[in-house]
Amino acid sequence: MNEYMKHKVDLINKTLLELYSKDTALNMILAQAMNYSLTAGGKRLRPVMLMAAADTVGADGDKYVRIACALEMIHTYSLIHDDLPAMDNDDYRRGKLTNHKVYGDAMAILAGDALLTMAFEVISSEAGIDPAVLLRVLWEISHAAGPEGMVGGQALDLLAENKQITLSELRQLHSAKTGALFCASVRAGGILAGATSSELAALTDYAREFGLAFQITDDILDVIGDDKKIGKPVGSDEKNHKSTYVSLLSLDEAKHLAEQSIANAVSALAPFGAKAEFLSVLVKKLLARQN
């Protein structure tokens, strides 16, 4: 497990560096701002999940590392924009100053815009893959990142501030804000690997439950986590009057819901047998996450 993860993450980091050096920005400061957040210690969960989903279906997921890196660019852009003073106004992320604290608001906005755009440039220039399959992957990812997915969820999040929302509203919000891109990551891996429609449905179920468990454990960490390990102050949800799984349920009930989602995610993988071991361990580890 650890070796598998290390291999994938090393490959992703190496490829991000290659893509970044090949596709230099016109302006050095913009390039530095993009690179600052791309290399700020992300866990590379989404790209790892794309490659692991392809492995699970029986292909060689490493072949799709560049497309996987595009997901990390999209994820990174979303963090840069979320942290802006006009949005969540966060000074720290993963133990480092946020992008706008280092490069200023204007350059941070542009670095986010550039990373989002570059992601589509990277995918559309991928060689050796059936163009029709690549277009389908492009659609999955752009749809998940757009107004019906991640950006739509972020808008819901913004409007939910200082407001009590229901558990079902919270679930819809997070299913769009973070869940959609997890789904697209796993589905893209499956599509690239030639998954059948029932395999794709199983992967989608897995990703949906993974996303839910990820968010619940994120909310739990914001209450009981360790600042140093998370890399930003805990208690920010309460400070910002945000509804969370912990505030709407209780710590114990939230944990229980996370355990349930994790069990559902593992069940969804049953059709793949031993080939799904990595994805299975990955979701089980969420309960013990420290960052």
| Residue 93 contacts its own copies per CB under 8 A | no
| Residue 139 contacts its own copies per CB under 8 A | yes
Q: DSSP E strands: which ranges in the chain? A: 92-93, 96-97
Residue from 12, 50, 71, 118 in contact with its own copies (CB under 8 A)? 118
Residue from 131, 162, 197, 273 in contact with its own copies (CB under 8 A)? 131
Q: How far apart are CA 262 and CA 281, in angstroms?
A: 10
Binding mask 234-263 for its own copies (x = CB under 8 A): ------------------------------
Q: Which residues lie closer than 8 Å to 78 by C-beta, 6 or more apart?
A: 112, 145, 150, 154, 181
Least separation in angstroms between residue 277's CB and its own copies is: 33
Least separation in angstroms between residue 142's CB and its own copies is: 4
Among 234, 218, 19, smallest CA distance to 122 is for: 19
Q: How far apart are CA 88 and CA 289, in angstroms?
A: 23
SS3 112: helix
The span of 91-99, 132-140, 224-232, 278-286 binding its own copies (CB under 8 A) equals: 132-140
| Residue 4 contacts its own copies per CB under 8 A | no
Q: Which residues lie closer than 8 Å to 69 by C-beta, 6 or more apart?
A: 12, 15, 16, 19, 47, 122
Half-sphere exposure of 56 (CA within 13 A, CB side): 33
Residue from 2, 128, 132, 168 in contact with its own copies (CB under 8 A)? 132
| Residue 24 contacts its own copies per CB under 8 A | yes
**Residues at the site binding its own copies, with contacts judged by CB under 8 A:** 23-27, 29-31, 34, 77, 81, 84, 86-87, 104-107, 109-110, 112-114, 116-118, 120-121, 124-125, 130-132, 134-136, 138-139, 142-143, 145-149, 151-156, 158-159, 172, 176
